[in-house]
Amino acid sequence: MSLFAFLTARYGGGFASREQINRHQDRAFAHFRKRIMPRSPFYRDFADTPLDQLPRMTKTLLMENFSAINTCGIDRDRAFEIALQSERSRDFNPLIGDVAVGLSTGTSGQRGLFLASERERRLWGATMLGRYWPELWRRQRVAFFMRADNALYRSMSNRMVRFEFFDLLGDFDSHVIRLEALDPSVLIAPARILSLLAQLQEKGRLSLAPRRVISVAETLSGDDKAGIHRAFGRPVDQVYQATEGVLAMTCPAGNLHLNERLMRIDEDVIDSASGAFCPIIHDFTRESLPILNYRLDDVLIPDPRPCSCGCTSRRIARIEGREDDMLWWPGVLGRVLIPAEAIRTAIACLPCRIRDYRVIQRGDDLEFWLDGAKDGAETLLAERIADLGRRLNCCPPRLVFRRGLPALSDEKRRRIIVLTQPVQCAAE
């Protein structure tokens, strides 16, 4: 299975047609219904139910029913205890039998548990390595920045790959020293860490020569993408991965495709103008903790154009961000979705360099916090925002300008934050 996944990810070239995708998924689900669902007390009686009629799953519901949903007979409280203990001691080997237990971050303060069996870990490794391994004949050194290590990723260390983990909660300066010593051939990190490393590289404080640079776990903005490319001389690949699975990956042509080889992804469209949708996933490779009819609160923007790589898996223009952080402004025919990139561009195009910024929607007010702004920046920005409103046929909120950065604790350092939507948009 994992060798097959490796070869498919590396040489498969993707699906030639939509029919082929449907056939592949139908076959996989037939197996899943027969072999996996009966082992889950929660799903046992749903083996014949169409996917979109299964109970709509969310993180909360998944956690509430964790003990009944998983197919390994693992009790939720025990799994939590083991995962928490291993995180506290930062001694990461949380296994129950051969099943790895992990905790997800949970931006809303809610933490999720996830499981990965040995087979699932191998499949994950094979898919990732198959797609992104630079040269098969060379031993690779992989640097992976993430919040907490766990057995899922460690399983990849072997003769072919030296795999080093960098704890996102650890001391960054000592990471830099260790990174320099490792001289990774593959660099995997969330977008903001890649950006920081790119800045160090440009200042000459780092001299890495990775063959692959992969952004995970966060939205990668256009300017970050360009900066990272410039610093390392490599285009940035993206893996859109949530606790719930690997949802999308960049192809050899550099475009993001939904991972229709491993899951069926339905679209809950939240904005018909752009086609923006929240994915509802049905993963037929997750056997330990089935993920079915599960709605994520990330917003994806589809790209209907065919890709030059030849794969017909649906393309994604970008991952716009969390549903809660979408900016909605009142328009003539209802609320209008404002692309975060348009706001970022308006700020990036100011003639004076802004060190950093935050944009906070607070009801009918839109606060701009500009760190390092010079006089005149506010007036220019106000003009740009008015332009944007005209272009998108909507009415921008009242603008409030401030200097410096707000005191907000935000682990993910989001730059655009929605606290409350404008009154007119909140009701929709």
Per-residue binding letters, 58-97, with Zn ion (x by CB under 5 A): ----------------------------------------
Q: Is 1 in the site for Zn ion (CB under 5 A)?
A: no
Minimum separation from the CB atom of position 10 to Zn ion (A): 15
Q: Is the dihedral of CA 269, 271, 273, 279 positive or negative?
A: negative
Residue 309 or 354 with smaller CB distance to Zn ion: 309
Encode burial over 275-309: b for 16+ CB neighbours within 10 A, e otherwise. ebbbbbbbbbbbbbbbbbbbbbbbbbbbbeeebeb
Which of 63, 96, 160, 309 is in the footprint of Zn ion by CB under 5 A? 309
CB 246 within 8 Å of CB 259: yes
Minimum separation from the CB atom of position 418 to Zn ion (A): 32
107 burial type by CB count under 10 A (0-12 exposed, 13-18 middle, 19+ buried): middle
Residue 253 or 273 with smaller CB distance to Zn ion: 253
CB 76 within 8 Å of CB 53: no
Encode burial over 347-386: b for 16+ CB neighbours within 10 A, e otherwise. beebeeebeebbbbbbeeebbbbbeebeeebbeebeebbe
CB 416 within 8 Å of CB 340: yes
Residue 253 or 408 with smaller CB distance to Zn ion: 253
The residues, ordered by sequence, that sit 6+ positions from 178 with a Cβ below 8 Å of its Cβ are: 164, 166
Residue 221 or 313 with smaller CB distance to Zn ion: 313
Question: Of the listed pieces 152-160, 182-190, 305-313, 372-380, which binds Zn ion according to CB under 5 A?
Answer: 305-313
Residue 76 or 229 with smaller CB distance to Zn ion: 229
Tokens of 223: 């300017």
Minimum separation from the CB atom of position 311 to Zn ion (A): 5
Minimum separation from the CB atom of position 146 to Zn ion (A): 26
Tokens of 55: 């109970």
Q: Is 242 in the site for Zn ion (CB under 5 A)?
A: no
Residue 209 or 253 with smaller CB distance to Zn ion: 253
Minimum separation from the CB atom of position 317 to Zn ion (A): 12
Minimum separation from the CB atom of position 309 to Zn ion (A): 3
- Residue 282: beta bridge partners? 264
Residue 251 or 346 with smaller CB distance to Zn ion: 251
Q: Is 307 in the site for Zn ion (CB under 5 A)?
A: yes
Residue 16 or 273 with smaller CB distance to Zn ion: 16
Give the Cα separation of 354 and 351 in Å (integer): 9
Residue 411: closest CA among 215, 147, 205: 147
Minimum separation from the CB atom of position 287 to Zn ion (A): 28
Residue 286 or 315 with smaller CB distance to Zn ion: 315
Question: Of the listed pieces 72-80, 131-139, 238-246, 304-312, which binds Zn ion according to CB under 5 A?
Answer: 304-312
Minimum separation from the CB atom of position 312 to Zn ion (A): 9
Question: Of the listed pieces 138-146, 306-314, 327-335, 377-385, which binds Zn ion according to CB under 5 A?
Answer: 306-314
The residues, ordered by sequence, that sit 6+ positions from 44 with a Cβ below 8 Å of its Cβ are: 37, 38
Give the interface size with Zn ion as a residue count (CB under 5 A): 5
Minimum separation from the CB atom of position 306 to Zn ion (A): 9
Q: Determine how many CB atoms are found less than 10 A away from the CB of residue 273.
A: 12
Residues 243-262 that bind Zn ion (CB under 5 A): 251, 253, 255
Residue 392: closest CA among 330, 317, 322, 326: 330
Residue 131 or 322 with smaller CB distance to Zn ion: 131
Binding site for Zn ion (CB under 5 A): 251, 253, 255, 307, 309
